[in-house]
Structure 1
Amino acid sequence: MTGHLCEDETTGTVDPLDAERVLPEAESTLGSGPRRLLTAFAVLTALATHQLFVLGGRTDQYWAWTIHTRPTVAFLGAAYAAGFVLSVAGLRQRSWPHVRVAVATVTAFTVLTLAATLVHGHKLHLSTADPLARSAAWVWLAVYLAVPAAGLAVLARQWTEPRSRPARSPLPTWLRWVVAAQGLALGATGAVLFGRGLTAHHGTGATAGCWPWPLMPLSAQVLGAWLLALAIGAALVVRERDPAGLRVPAVTYAAFGVLQGAVLLRYRGEMDAGPALWAYGAVLTVVVATGGYGWWVVRHRPG
Protein backbone atom coordinates (compact mmCIF):
# COMPACT_ATOMS: atom_id res chain seq x y z
CA MET A 1 0.00 0.00 0.00
CA THR A 2 1.29 3.46 -0.91
CA GLY A 3 2.85 5.30 2.00
CA HIS A 4 3.42 2.05 3.95
CA LEU A 5 6.25 0.42 2.03
CA CYS A 6 8.07 -0.45 5.26
CA GLU A 7 5.06 -2.23 6.83
CA ASP A 8 4.23 -5.88 6.73
CA GLU A 9 0.80 -6.06 5.05
CA THR A 10 -0.48 -8.70 7.45
CA THR A 11 0.80 -7.42 10.78
CA GLY A 12 1.41 -3.73 10.15
CA THR A 13 4.84 -3.97 11.79
CA VAL A 14 7.92 -2.24 10.46
CA ASP A 15 10.41 -4.48 8.69
CA PRO A 16 13.73 -4.01 10.51
CA LEU A 17 15.61 -4.39 7.23
CA ASP A 18 13.88 -1.24 5.97
CA ALA A 19 13.98 0.70 9.22
CA GLU A 20 17.26 2.33 8.26
CA ARG A 21 17.09 4.79 5.41
CA VAL A 22 18.76 3.29 2.36
CA LEU A 23 18.83 4.18 -1.29
CA PRO A 24 18.50 1.84 -4.22
CA GLU A 25 21.84 1.57 -5.94
CA ALA A 26 20.55 3.38 -9.03
CA GLU A 27 19.69 6.48 -6.99
CA SER A 28 23.14 6.75 -5.38
CA THR A 29 24.74 8.11 -8.53
CA LEU A 30 28.39 9.04 -8.90
CA GLY A 31 28.67 12.80 -8.57
CA SER A 32 31.07 15.24 -10.20
CA GLY A 33 33.36 15.42 -7.15
CA PRO A 34 34.48 11.76 -7.19
CA ARG A 35 34.69 11.83 -10.99
CA ARG A 36 36.97 14.86 -11.01
CA LEU A 37 39.18 13.37 -8.32
CA LEU A 38 39.52 10.05 -10.15
CA THR A 39 40.13 11.84 -13.47
CA ALA A 40 42.91 13.92 -11.93
CA PHE A 41 44.46 10.84 -10.31
CA ALA A 42 44.28 8.95 -13.63
CA VAL A 43 46.17 11.72 -15.44
CA LEU A 44 48.75 12.09 -12.67
CA THR A 45 49.37 8.36 -12.28
CA ALA A 46 49.73 7.98 -16.06
CA LEU A 47 52.34 10.76 -16.04
CA ALA A 48 54.17 9.21 -13.08
CA THR A 49 54.15 5.78 -14.75
CA HIS A 50 55.70 7.26 -17.88
CA GLN A 51 58.37 9.13 -15.92
CA LEU A 52 59.37 6.04 -13.96
CA PHE A 53 59.13 3.33 -16.62
CA VAL A 54 60.41 5.35 -19.58
CA LEU A 55 62.69 7.91 -17.91
CA GLY A 56 63.45 6.02 -14.71
CA GLY A 57 67.16 5.93 -15.43
CA ARG A 58 67.29 9.72 -15.02
CA THR A 59 65.37 10.41 -11.83
CA ASP A 60 67.95 13.09 -11.03
CA GLN A 61 66.42 15.04 -13.91
CA TYR A 62 62.86 13.80 -14.47
CA TRP A 63 61.61 12.94 -10.97
CA ALA A 64 60.96 14.90 -7.79
CA TRP A 65 63.94 13.33 -6.02
CA THR A 66 66.85 11.13 -7.04
CA ILE A 67 66.25 7.39 -6.69
CA HIS A 68 69.44 5.33 -6.72
CA THR A 69 68.15 1.75 -7.01
CA ARG A 70 66.40 0.32 -10.05
CA PRO A 71 64.03 -1.95 -8.08
CA THR A 72 62.70 1.11 -6.24
CA VAL A 73 62.09 2.97 -9.50
CA ALA A 74 60.34 -0.09 -10.93
CA PHE A 75 58.23 -0.66 -7.79
CA LEU A 76 56.99 2.93 -7.85
CA GLY A 77 56.31 2.73 -11.59
CA ALA A 78 54.28 -0.45 -11.10
CA ALA A 79 52.41 1.06 -8.14
CA TYR A 80 51.46 4.17 -10.11
CA ALA A 81 50.40 1.97 -13.03
CA ALA A 82 48.10 0.08 -10.65
CA GLY A 83 46.84 3.45 -9.42
CA PHE A 84 46.01 4.33 -13.03
CA VAL A 85 44.07 1.07 -13.36
CA LEU A 86 42.18 1.92 -10.17
CA SER A 87 41.25 5.37 -11.48
CA VAL A 88 40.12 4.20 -14.91
CA ALA A 89 38.12 1.32 -13.42
CA GLY A 90 36.53 3.77 -10.99
CA LEU A 91 35.57 6.16 -13.77
CA ARG A 92 33.70 3.34 -15.50
CA GLN A 93 31.36 2.98 -12.52
CA ARG A 94 28.05 4.81 -12.24
CA SER A 95 27.37 4.86 -8.51
CA TRP A 96 29.20 6.03 -5.39
CA PRO A 97 29.10 2.63 -3.58
CA HIS A 98 31.14 1.17 -6.44
CA VAL A 99 33.97 3.72 -6.06
CA ARG A 100 33.89 4.41 -2.31
CA VAL A 101 36.87 2.12 -1.66
CA ALA A 102 38.78 3.52 -4.63
CA VAL A 103 38.39 7.12 -3.49
CA ALA A 104 39.36 6.20 0.07
CA THR A 105 42.46 4.40 -1.23
CA VAL A 106 43.52 7.38 -3.35
CA THR A 107 42.98 9.76 -0.46
CA ALA A 108 44.88 7.58 2.02
CA PHE A 109 47.86 7.25 -0.31
CA THR A 110 48.08 10.96 -1.06
CA VAL A 111 47.69 12.00 2.59
CA LEU A 112 50.48 9.62 3.64
CA THR A 113 52.70 10.73 0.76
CA LEU A 114 52.14 14.36 1.71
CA ALA A 115 53.38 13.52 5.21
CA ALA A 116 56.47 11.86 3.75
CA THR A 117 57.04 14.86 1.48
CA LEU A 118 56.88 17.32 4.37
CA VAL A 119 59.25 15.23 6.50
CA HIS A 120 61.81 14.76 3.72
CA GLY A 121 61.25 17.93 1.74
CA HIS A 122 65.00 18.59 1.81
CA LYS A 123 65.44 15.59 -0.53
CA LEU A 124 63.28 17.09 -3.27
CA HIS A 125 64.83 18.92 -6.21
CA LEU A 126 63.12 22.15 -5.18
CA SER A 127 66.22 24.34 -5.52
CA THR A 128 68.38 22.34 -7.91
CA ALA A 129 69.97 24.08 -10.87
CA ASP A 130 68.35 21.75 -13.42
CA PRO A 131 65.03 23.36 -14.49
CA LEU A 132 63.45 20.00 -15.38
CA ALA A 133 64.25 18.47 -12.01
CA ARG A 134 63.15 21.62 -10.21
CA SER A 135 59.86 21.64 -12.12
CA ALA A 136 59.26 17.97 -11.30
CA ALA A 137 59.78 18.66 -7.60
CA TRP A 138 57.44 21.66 -7.51
CA VAL A 139 54.77 19.78 -9.47
CA TRP A 140 55.09 16.92 -6.97
CA LEU A 141 54.66 19.31 -4.06
CA ALA A 142 51.64 21.00 -5.65
CA VAL A 143 49.97 17.66 -6.43
CA TYR A 144 50.42 16.30 -2.93
CA LEU A 145 49.07 19.45 -1.38
CA ALA A 146 46.00 19.62 -3.62
CA VAL A 147 44.90 16.00 -4.11
CA PRO A 148 44.73 15.01 -0.40
CA ALA A 149 42.59 18.07 0.35
CA ALA A 150 40.29 17.26 -2.58
CA GLY A 151 40.05 13.61 -1.56
CA LEU A 152 39.16 14.43 2.04
CA ALA A 153 36.53 16.91 0.85
CA VAL A 154 34.94 14.30 -1.43
CA LEU A 155 34.90 11.68 1.33
CA ALA A 156 33.46 14.10 3.88
CA ARG A 157 30.61 14.96 1.54
CA GLN A 158 29.85 11.52 0.12
CA TRP A 159 30.36 9.29 3.16
CA THR A 160 27.44 10.87 5.01
CA GLU A 161 24.98 10.14 2.20
CA PRO A 162 22.52 7.23 2.62
CA ARG A 163 24.02 3.91 1.60
CA SER A 164 22.68 1.61 -1.05
CA ARG A 165 20.55 -1.37 0.01
CA PRO A 166 22.64 -4.15 1.61
CA ALA A 167 23.86 -6.80 -0.81
CA ARG A 168 21.63 -9.83 -1.23
CA SER A 169 24.71 -12.00 -1.89
CA PRO A 170 27.48 -10.76 0.44
CA LEU A 171 31.09 -11.80 0.01
CA PRO A 172 31.86 -15.36 1.14
CA THR A 173 33.23 -15.48 4.67
CA TRP A 174 36.42 -17.25 3.61
CA LEU A 175 37.13 -14.58 0.98
CA ARG A 176 36.71 -11.83 3.57
CA TRP A 177 39.22 -13.63 5.81
CA VAL A 178 41.73 -13.93 2.96
CA VAL A 179 41.34 -10.26 2.04
CA ALA A 180 41.70 -9.33 5.71
CA ALA A 181 44.87 -11.43 6.06
CA GLN A 182 46.56 -9.95 3.01
CA GLY A 183 45.49 -6.47 4.05
CA LEU A 184 47.09 -7.14 7.43
CA ALA A 185 50.32 -8.28 5.76
CA LEU A 186 50.45 -5.25 3.46
CA GLY A 187 49.50 -2.89 6.27
CA ALA A 188 52.08 -4.25 8.70
CA THR A 189 54.86 -4.03 6.11
CA GLY A 190 53.75 -0.59 5.00
CA ALA A 191 53.63 0.65 8.59
CA VAL A 192 57.19 -0.59 9.22
CA LEU A 193 58.52 1.06 6.05
CA PHE A 194 56.63 4.29 6.67
CA GLY A 195 57.57 4.43 10.34
CA ARG A 196 61.25 3.68 9.83
CA GLY A 197 61.46 6.15 6.97
CA LEU A 198 59.84 8.74 9.21
CA THR A 199 62.58 8.52 11.84
CA ALA A 200 65.58 8.26 9.48
CA HIS A 201 67.00 10.91 7.18
CA HIS A 202 70.16 9.33 5.75
CA GLY A 203 71.27 5.91 4.55
CA THR A 204 69.38 2.68 3.97
CA GLY A 205 69.90 0.94 7.31
CA ALA A 206 66.42 1.77 8.60
CA THR A 207 64.74 -0.79 6.31
CA ALA A 208 67.38 -3.53 6.56
CA GLY A 209 65.83 -6.95 7.14
CA CYS A 210 62.23 -5.92 6.46
CA TRP A 211 62.42 -5.33 2.69
CA PRO A 212 64.13 -7.26 -0.13
CA TRP A 213 66.31 -4.34 -1.24
CA PRO A 214 67.77 -1.20 0.40
CA LEU A 215 65.59 1.91 0.54
CA MET A 216 66.37 5.52 1.28
CA PRO A 217 64.01 7.10 3.88
CA LEU A 218 61.80 9.09 1.46
CA SER A 219 61.44 6.15 -0.93
CA ALA A 220 60.68 3.86 2.03
CA GLN A 221 57.87 6.13 3.14
CA VAL A 222 56.31 6.40 -0.32
CA LEU A 223 56.49 2.62 -0.78
CA GLY A 224 54.97 2.26 2.67
CA ALA A 225 52.22 4.72 1.72
CA TRP A 226 51.22 2.53 -1.24
CA LEU A 227 51.09 -0.60 0.91
CA LEU A 228 49.15 1.13 3.68
CA ALA A 229 46.64 2.58 1.21
CA LEU A 230 46.01 -0.87 -0.29
CA ALA A 231 45.60 -2.26 3.23
CA ILE A 232 43.02 0.42 4.02
CA GLY A 233 41.17 -0.52 0.82
CA ALA A 234 41.19 -4.18 1.89
CA ALA A 235 39.81 -3.26 5.31
CA LEU A 236 36.94 -1.33 3.72
CA VAL A 237 36.11 -4.25 1.41
CA VAL A 238 35.94 -6.57 4.42
CA ARG A 239 33.84 -4.08 6.38
CA GLU A 240 31.28 -3.47 3.64
CA ARG A 241 30.97 -7.12 2.49
CA ASP A 242 29.34 -5.98 -0.75
CA PRO A 243 30.48 -7.64 -4.01
CA ALA A 244 29.50 -4.47 -5.89
CA GLY A 245 32.13 -2.54 -3.99
CA LEU A 246 34.75 -5.21 -4.76
CA ARG A 247 34.80 -4.54 -8.50
CA VAL A 248 37.41 -1.75 -8.59
CA PRO A 249 39.59 -3.03 -5.70
CA ALA A 250 39.75 -6.52 -7.25
CA VAL A 251 41.02 -5.24 -10.60
CA THR A 252 43.48 -2.94 -8.82
CA TYR A 253 44.81 -5.70 -6.58
CA ALA A 254 45.29 -8.04 -9.54
CA ALA A 255 47.11 -5.35 -11.53
CA PHE A 256 49.30 -4.40 -8.56
CA GLY A 257 50.24 -8.03 -7.90
CA VAL A 258 51.04 -8.84 -11.53
CA LEU A 259 53.09 -5.68 -12.07
CA GLN A 260 55.01 -6.02 -8.80
CA GLY A 261 55.60 -9.70 -9.56
CA ALA A 262 57.15 -8.67 -12.88
CA VAL A 263 59.39 -6.20 -11.02
CA LEU A 264 60.46 -8.93 -8.62
CA LEU A 265 61.35 -11.30 -11.46
CA ARG A 266 63.13 -8.62 -13.48
CA TYR A 267 65.30 -7.33 -10.62
CA ARG A 268 65.61 -10.39 -8.39
CA GLY A 269 69.38 -10.35 -8.96
CA GLU A 270 69.56 -6.96 -7.21
CA MET A 271 67.52 -8.10 -4.21
CA ASP A 272 68.54 -9.86 -1.02
CA ALA A 273 67.52 -13.51 -1.45
CA GLY A 274 66.40 -13.82 2.17
CA PRO A 275 63.13 -14.36 4.04
CA ALA A 276 61.83 -10.87 3.16
CA LEU A 277 62.02 -11.65 -0.57
CA TRP A 278 60.20 -14.98 -0.22
CA ALA A 279 57.54 -13.47 2.02
CA TYR A 280 57.02 -10.60 -0.42
CA GLY A 281 56.69 -13.04 -3.33
CA ALA A 282 54.16 -15.12 -1.39
CA VAL A 283 52.05 -12.05 -0.55
CA LEU A 284 52.07 -10.95 -4.20
CA THR A 285 50.91 -14.41 -5.28
CA VAL A 286 47.96 -14.24 -2.87
CA VAL A 287 47.18 -10.67 -3.99
CA VAL A 288 46.97 -11.74 -7.64
CA ALA A 289 44.84 -14.79 -6.82
CA THR A 290 42.49 -12.83 -4.56
CA GLY A 291 42.15 -9.97 -7.03
CA GLY A 292 41.43 -12.35 -9.90
CA TYR A 293 38.90 -14.35 -7.91
CA GLY A 294 37.26 -11.18 -6.60
CA TRP A 295 36.82 -9.96 -10.16
CA TRP A 296 35.29 -13.33 -11.07
CA VAL A 297 32.89 -13.13 -8.11
CA VAL A 298 31.70 -9.69 -9.21
CA ARG A 299 31.22 -10.84 -12.80
CA HIS A 300 29.19 -13.91 -11.80
CA ARG A 301 27.31 -12.79 -8.71
CA PRO A 302 23.55 -13.42 -8.85
CA GLY A 303 21.21 -10.52 -9.36
Structure 2
Amino acid sequence: MAERPADDRVLPATRWVAVAIVPFLVVAAFLLFAFPERTGELFAWAIAVPMSAFLLASAYVGGIWFFVGVARARRWHHVTHGFPAVVVFAGALLVATLLHLDRFSQNLSFAVWMALYLTTPFVVAVLAVVQRPRDPRVPDAGDVVIPRRWRFGLAAIGAAALAFGALVFLAPEFAMTFWAWPLTPLTAQVTGAVLSLTGVVNAGLLWDARWSAFRTLFQAQLLSLVAIAVSLVARRDDLLWDRPMTLGFVVLVAGALLVYAVFTLRSEALARRAAASIPLA
Protein backbone atom coordinates (compact mmCIF):
# COMPACT_ATOMS: atom_id res chain seq x y z
CA MET A 1 0.00 0.00 0.00
CA ALA A 2 1.38 3.38 -0.99
CA GLU A 3 2.13 5.76 1.82
CA ARG A 4 -0.09 8.80 2.10
CA PRO A 5 1.73 12.01 1.16
CA ALA A 6 2.73 14.34 3.98
CA ASP A 7 1.12 17.22 2.14
CA ASP A 8 -0.57 18.77 5.22
CA ARG A 9 -3.88 18.55 3.42
CA VAL A 10 -7.23 18.64 5.24
CA LEU A 11 -9.34 16.02 3.48
CA PRO A 12 -12.84 16.97 2.25
CA ALA A 13 -14.38 14.34 4.56
CA THR A 14 -12.74 16.02 7.55
CA ARG A 15 -14.09 19.42 6.54
CA TRP A 16 -17.59 18.09 5.96
CA VAL A 17 -17.70 16.35 9.33
CA ALA A 18 -16.64 19.61 10.98
CA VAL A 19 -19.31 21.53 9.07
CA ALA A 20 -21.93 18.96 10.10
CA ILE A 21 -21.01 19.14 13.80
CA VAL A 22 -21.04 22.94 14.17
CA PRO A 23 -24.82 23.52 13.93
CA PHE A 24 -25.50 20.97 16.67
CA LEU A 25 -22.97 22.66 18.95
CA VAL A 26 -24.49 26.07 18.24
CA VAL A 27 -28.01 24.88 19.06
CA ALA A 28 -26.89 23.04 22.20
CA ALA A 29 -24.88 26.01 23.50
CA PHE A 30 -27.81 28.36 22.85
CA LEU A 31 -30.33 26.12 24.63
CA LEU A 32 -28.05 25.59 27.63
CA PHE A 33 -27.18 29.26 28.03
CA ALA A 34 -30.60 30.71 27.22
CA PHE A 35 -32.90 28.16 28.86
CA PRO A 36 -30.99 26.39 31.66
CA GLU A 37 -34.19 25.95 33.70
CA ARG A 38 -35.96 24.21 30.79
CA THR A 39 -33.33 21.60 29.92
CA GLY A 40 -35.68 18.71 30.71
CA GLU A 41 -38.03 19.97 28.01
CA LEU A 42 -35.64 21.43 25.44
CA PHE A 43 -32.36 19.58 26.01
CA ALA A 44 -31.48 15.89 26.27
CA TRP A 45 -31.99 15.72 30.03
CA ALA A 46 -33.05 17.87 32.96
CA ILE A 47 -30.06 19.65 34.48
CA ALA A 48 -31.11 20.76 37.94
CA VAL A 49 -28.35 23.31 38.55
CA PRO A 50 -27.88 25.88 35.74
CA MET A 51 -24.14 26.18 36.42
CA SER A 52 -23.71 22.61 35.16
CA ALA A 53 -25.57 23.56 31.99
CA PHE A 54 -23.36 26.63 31.58
CA LEU A 55 -20.17 24.58 32.01
CA LEU A 56 -21.17 22.17 29.25
CA ALA A 57 -22.24 25.09 27.05
CA SER A 58 -18.85 26.72 27.60
CA ALA A 59 -17.15 23.59 26.29
CA TYR A 60 -19.44 23.69 23.25
CA VAL A 61 -18.48 27.33 22.62
CA GLY A 62 -14.84 26.28 22.35
CA GLY A 63 -15.91 23.35 20.17
CA ILE A 64 -17.69 25.69 17.78
CA TRP A 65 -14.51 27.74 17.33
CA PHE A 66 -12.43 24.59 16.85
CA PHE A 67 -14.66 22.92 14.27
CA VAL A 68 -15.10 26.15 12.32
CA GLY A 69 -11.31 26.26 12.34
CA VAL A 70 -11.18 22.69 11.00
CA ALA A 71 -13.59 23.58 8.19
CA ARG A 72 -11.44 26.58 7.25
CA ALA A 73 -7.98 25.14 7.94
CA ARG A 74 -5.43 25.43 5.18
CA ARG A 75 -3.16 22.80 6.74
CA TRP A 76 -3.91 19.65 8.74
CA HIS A 77 -1.30 20.33 11.41
CA HIS A 78 -3.17 23.50 12.40
CA VAL A 79 -5.92 21.38 13.99
CA THR A 80 -4.42 17.93 14.49
CA HIS A 81 -4.07 18.11 18.29
CA GLY A 82 -7.76 18.84 18.78
CA PHE A 83 -8.96 15.52 17.41
CA PRO A 84 -7.76 13.29 20.29
CA ALA A 85 -9.39 15.71 22.75
CA VAL A 86 -12.71 15.44 20.90
CA VAL A 87 -12.48 11.64 20.90
CA VAL A 88 -11.87 11.52 24.67
CA PHE A 89 -14.57 14.12 25.45
CA ALA A 90 -17.23 12.62 23.20
CA GLY A 91 -16.33 9.08 24.27
CA ALA A 92 -16.64 10.03 27.93
CA LEU A 93 -20.06 11.59 27.30
CA LEU A 94 -21.17 8.43 25.49
CA VAL A 95 -20.14 6.30 28.48
CA ALA A 96 -21.89 8.69 30.88
CA THR A 97 -25.03 8.54 28.76
CA LEU A 98 -25.11 4.75 28.70
CA LEU A 99 -24.60 4.63 32.47
CA HIS A 100 -27.48 7.03 33.15
CA LEU A 101 -30.05 6.36 30.44
CA ASP A 102 -32.84 6.64 32.99
CA ARG A 103 -32.02 10.33 33.50
CA PHE A 104 -32.58 11.33 29.88
CA SER A 105 -35.72 12.81 28.40
CA GLN A 106 -37.54 10.91 25.67
CA ASN A 107 -37.57 13.79 23.21
CA LEU A 108 -36.00 14.92 19.94
CA SER A 109 -33.00 16.44 21.73
CA PHE A 110 -32.15 13.09 23.30
CA ALA A 111 -32.45 11.32 19.95
CA VAL A 112 -30.05 13.84 18.42
CA TRP A 113 -27.73 13.54 21.45
CA MET A 114 -27.59 9.75 21.10
CA ALA A 115 -27.01 9.92 17.35
CA LEU A 116 -24.14 12.35 17.83
CA TYR A 117 -22.38 10.58 20.66
CA LEU A 118 -22.83 7.12 19.19
CA THR A 119 -21.00 8.28 16.07
CA THR A 120 -18.76 11.28 16.80
CA PRO A 121 -16.03 9.56 18.89
CA PHE A 122 -15.54 6.87 16.25
CA VAL A 123 -15.81 9.07 13.16
CA VAL A 124 -13.40 11.65 14.58
CA ALA A 125 -10.98 8.89 15.64
CA VAL A 126 -10.98 7.40 12.14
CA LEU A 127 -10.40 10.82 10.57
CA ALA A 128 -7.52 11.48 12.97
CA VAL A 129 -5.86 8.18 12.04
CA VAL A 130 -6.36 8.73 8.31
CA GLN A 131 -5.13 12.34 8.45
CA ARG A 132 -2.19 11.79 10.80
CA PRO A 133 0.42 10.80 8.17
CA ARG A 134 -0.32 13.99 6.25
CA ASP A 135 1.40 16.17 8.86
CA PRO A 136 4.90 16.89 7.48
CA ARG A 137 5.99 17.91 11.00
CA VAL A 138 7.58 21.11 9.77
CA PRO A 139 6.67 24.65 10.85
CA ASP A 140 4.88 27.16 8.70
CA ALA A 141 6.89 29.92 7.09
CA GLY A 142 7.31 32.53 9.80
CA ASP A 143 6.13 30.11 12.48
CA VAL A 144 6.98 30.53 16.16
CA VAL A 145 8.69 27.92 18.31
CA ILE A 146 6.97 27.67 21.70
CA PRO A 147 9.61 27.89 24.46
CA ARG A 148 10.13 24.74 26.50
CA ARG A 149 9.08 26.41 29.77
CA TRP A 150 5.71 27.31 28.28
CA ARG A 151 5.24 23.90 26.71
CA PHE A 152 5.99 21.96 29.85
CA GLY A 153 4.17 24.40 32.10
CA LEU A 154 0.98 24.25 30.05
CA ALA A 155 1.31 20.48 29.69
CA ALA A 156 1.54 20.23 33.48
CA ILE A 157 -1.61 22.35 33.87
CA GLY A 158 -3.35 20.10 31.38
CA ALA A 159 -2.17 16.94 33.12
CA ALA A 160 -3.56 18.21 36.43
CA ALA A 161 -6.90 19.02 34.78
CA LEU A 162 -7.00 15.61 33.10
CA ALA A 163 -6.19 13.77 36.33
CA PHE A 164 -8.79 15.73 38.26
CA GLY A 165 -11.34 15.22 35.51
CA ALA A 166 -10.67 11.48 35.57
CA LEU A 167 -11.25 11.45 39.33
CA VAL A 168 -14.55 13.30 38.98
CA PHE A 169 -15.64 11.04 36.12
CA LEU A 170 -14.68 7.76 37.79
CA ALA A 171 -15.89 8.68 41.29
CA PRO A 172 -18.91 10.93 40.71
CA GLU A 173 -20.44 10.27 44.14
CA PHE A 174 -17.20 11.37 45.78
CA ALA A 175 -17.06 14.49 43.58
CA MET A 176 -20.57 15.39 44.71
CA THR A 177 -19.27 15.81 48.28
CA PHE A 178 -16.75 18.54 47.52
CA TRP A 179 -17.58 20.16 44.15
CA ALA A 180 -18.20 23.90 43.88
CA TRP A 181 -21.90 23.51 43.05
CA PRO A 182 -24.42 20.67 43.48
CA LEU A 183 -23.90 17.73 41.15
CA THR A 184 -25.67 14.52 40.25
CA PRO A 185 -23.73 11.42 39.17
CA LEU A 186 -24.47 12.33 35.54
CA THR A 187 -23.48 16.00 35.75
CA ALA A 188 -20.36 14.99 37.70
CA GLN A 189 -19.28 12.76 34.83
CA VAL A 190 -20.08 15.46 32.30
CA THR A 191 -17.93 17.85 34.36
CA GLY A 192 -15.10 15.31 34.32
CA ALA A 193 -15.39 15.05 30.54
CA VAL A 194 -15.16 18.84 30.19
CA LEU A 195 -12.03 18.93 32.35
CA SER A 196 -10.38 16.33 30.12
CA LEU A 197 -10.31 18.64 27.11
CA THR A 198 -7.45 20.90 28.15
CA GLY A 199 -5.41 17.94 29.36
CA VAL A 200 -5.54 16.05 26.08
CA VAL A 201 -4.92 19.18 23.99
CA ASN A 202 -1.98 20.37 26.08
CA ALA A 203 -0.33 16.94 26.01
CA GLY A 204 0.57 17.64 22.40
CA LEU A 205 2.91 20.40 23.59
CA LEU A 206 5.29 17.73 24.88
CA TRP A 207 6.29 16.73 21.34
CA ASP A 208 5.19 19.61 19.12
CA ALA A 209 6.62 23.12 19.54
CA ARG A 210 4.91 24.78 16.54
CA TRP A 211 2.62 27.65 17.53
CA SER A 212 0.77 27.10 14.24
CA ALA A 213 -0.27 23.67 15.54
CA PHE A 214 -1.92 25.19 18.63
CA ARG A 215 -3.18 28.63 17.58
CA THR A 216 -6.78 27.53 16.85
CA LEU A 217 -6.87 25.25 19.89
CA PHE A 218 -5.71 27.87 22.36
CA GLN A 219 -8.10 30.40 20.91
CA ALA A 220 -10.87 27.84 21.48
CA GLN A 221 -9.70 27.11 25.03
CA LEU A 222 -9.45 30.80 25.82
CA LEU A 223 -12.98 31.35 24.54
CA SER A 224 -14.23 28.48 26.72
CA LEU A 225 -12.47 29.93 29.76
CA VAL A 226 -14.08 33.32 29.16
CA ALA A 227 -17.47 31.61 28.94
CA ILE A 228 -16.81 29.71 32.18
CA ALA A 229 -15.69 32.89 33.95
CA VAL A 230 -18.82 34.74 32.83
CA SER A 231 -20.92 31.74 33.88
CA LEU A 232 -19.42 31.79 37.37
CA VAL A 233 -20.44 35.42 37.73
CA ALA A 234 -23.89 34.94 36.21
CA ARG A 235 -24.64 31.82 38.28
CA ARG A 236 -22.81 32.79 41.47
CA ASP A 237 -25.92 31.89 43.48
CA ASP A 238 -25.47 28.26 42.38
CA LEU A 239 -22.05 28.09 44.05
CA LEU A 240 -21.59 26.48 47.46
CA TRP A 241 -19.35 29.04 49.13
CA ASP A 242 -19.01 27.00 52.32
CA ARG A 243 -16.93 24.44 50.41
CA PRO A 244 -13.17 25.10 49.97
CA MET A 245 -13.41 23.81 46.40
CA THR A 246 -15.59 26.74 45.39
CA LEU A 247 -13.06 29.50 45.98
CA GLY A 248 -10.34 27.23 44.64
CA PHE A 249 -12.24 26.63 41.41
CA VAL A 250 -12.89 30.35 40.92
CA VAL A 251 -9.22 31.15 41.51
CA LEU A 252 -8.10 28.38 39.15
CA VAL A 253 -10.40 29.60 36.37
CA ALA A 254 -9.18 33.18 36.83
CA GLY A 255 -5.55 32.04 36.87
CA ALA A 256 -5.98 29.82 33.81
CA LEU A 257 -7.70 32.68 31.97
CA LEU A 258 -4.76 34.97 32.72
CA VAL A 259 -2.10 32.40 31.78
CA TYR A 260 -3.86 31.40 28.56
CA ALA A 261 -4.45 35.02 27.57
CA VAL A 262 -0.81 35.98 28.16
CA PHE A 263 0.46 32.91 26.31
CA THR A 264 -1.88 33.35 23.35
CA LEU A 265 -1.30 37.10 22.97
CA ARG A 266 2.47 36.65 23.33
CA SER A 267 2.55 33.89 20.73
CA GLU A 268 0.40 35.87 18.32
CA ALA A 269 2.64 38.94 18.68
CA LEU A 270 5.74 36.85 17.98
CA ALA A 271 4.04 35.20 15.00
CA ARG A 272 3.14 38.59 13.50
CA ARG A 273 6.72 39.76 14.01
CA ALA A 274 8.06 36.60 12.35
CA ALA A 275 5.66 36.92 9.42
CA ALA A 276 6.65 40.56 8.91
CA SER A 277 10.30 39.56 8.72
CA ILE A 278 9.77 37.16 5.80
CA PRO A 279 11.12 38.82 2.63
CA LEU A 280 8.62 39.33 -0.15
CA ALA A 281 9.23 37.27 -3.28
- Return the TM-score normalized by structure 2: 0.87
What is the RMSD computed on CA atoms of the aligned residues?
A: 2.1
The change in CA–CA distance for 1:146 and 1:34 in structure 2 (over 3 A counts) is: same
**Deviation, structure 1 residue 255:** 0.7
Question: Which residue in the other structure is 1:184 paired with?
Answer: 159
Residue among 139, 145, 150 paired with 1:175: 150
Residue among 128, 137, 143 paired with 1:164: 137
**Deviation, structure 1 residue 86:** 1.9
Aligned length: 266
The change in CA–CA distance for 1:251 and 1:124 in structure 2 (over 3 A counts) is: same
1:38 aligns with 2:6: no
* Kept after mapping to 2: 8 A contact 1:246/1:295: no
The change in CA–CA distance for 1:45 and 1:118 in structure 2 (over 3 A counts) is: same
**Deviation, structure 1 residue 95:** 0.7
2-side partners of 1:237 and 1:190: how far apart? 19
1:1-303 residue pairs with structure 2 within 5 A? 23=6, 27-126=7-106, 134-165=107-138, 169-197=144-172, 206-209=175-178, 211-273=179-241, 274-296=243-265, 297-301=267-271, 302-303=274-275
SS of alignment partner, residue 100 of structure 1: coil
* Kept after mapping to 2: 8 A contact 1:34/1:103: no
* Kept after mapping to 1: 8 A contact 2:79/2:214: no
SS of alignment partner, residue 160 of structure 1: helix
**Deviation, structure 1 residue 299:** 4.8
* Kept after mapping to 1: 8 A contact 2:85/2:201: yes
SS of alignment partner, residue 284 of structure 1: helix
2-side partners of 1:97 and 1:58: how far apart? 40
SS of alignment partner, residue 119 of structure 2: helix
* Structure having greater relative contact order (Cα 8 Å, sep ≥ 6): 2
**Deviation, structure 1 residue 22:** 9.1
* Kept after mapping to 2: 8 A contact 1:107/1:152: yes
Q: Which amino acid aligns with 2:62?
A: A
* Kept after mapping to 1: 8 A contact 2:83/2:125: no
Deviation track 1:182-205 (CA, whole Å, cap 9, x = no partner) reads 2123212211211123xx5xxxx6
The change in CA–CA distance for 1:78 and 1:185 in structure 2 (over 3 A counts) is: same
**Deviation, structure 1 residue 206:** 4.5
1-side partners of 2:213 and 2:191: how far apart? 25
Structure 1: segments with no counterpart, 5+ residues: 1-20, 127-133
Question: Which residue in the other structure is 2:279 paired with?
Answer: none
Runs of 4+ deviating beyond 6 Å? none
Structure 2: segments with no counterpart, 5+ residues: 276-281
Q: Which amino acid aligns with 2:58?
A: A
The change in CA–CA distance for 1:245 and 1:298 in structure 2 (over 3 A counts) is: farther
SS of alignment partner, residue 159 of structure 1: helix
2-side partners of 1:33 and 1:293: how far apart? 35
Q: Which amino acid aligns with 1:268?
A: R
Deviation track 1:54-109 (CA, whole Å, cap 9, x = no partner) reads 22221111111111112112212222122212222333321110010122222221
Question: Which residue in the other structure is 1:12 paired with?
Answer: none
The change in CA–CA distance for 1:206 and 1:226 in structure 2 (over 3 A counts) is: closer
- Return the TM-score normalized by structure 1: 0.81
* Kept after mapping to 1: 8 A contact 2:161/2:195: yes
2-side partners of 1:90 and 1:291: how far apart? 21
SS of alignment partner, residue 145 of structure 2: coil
**Deviation, structure 1 residue 245:** 0.8
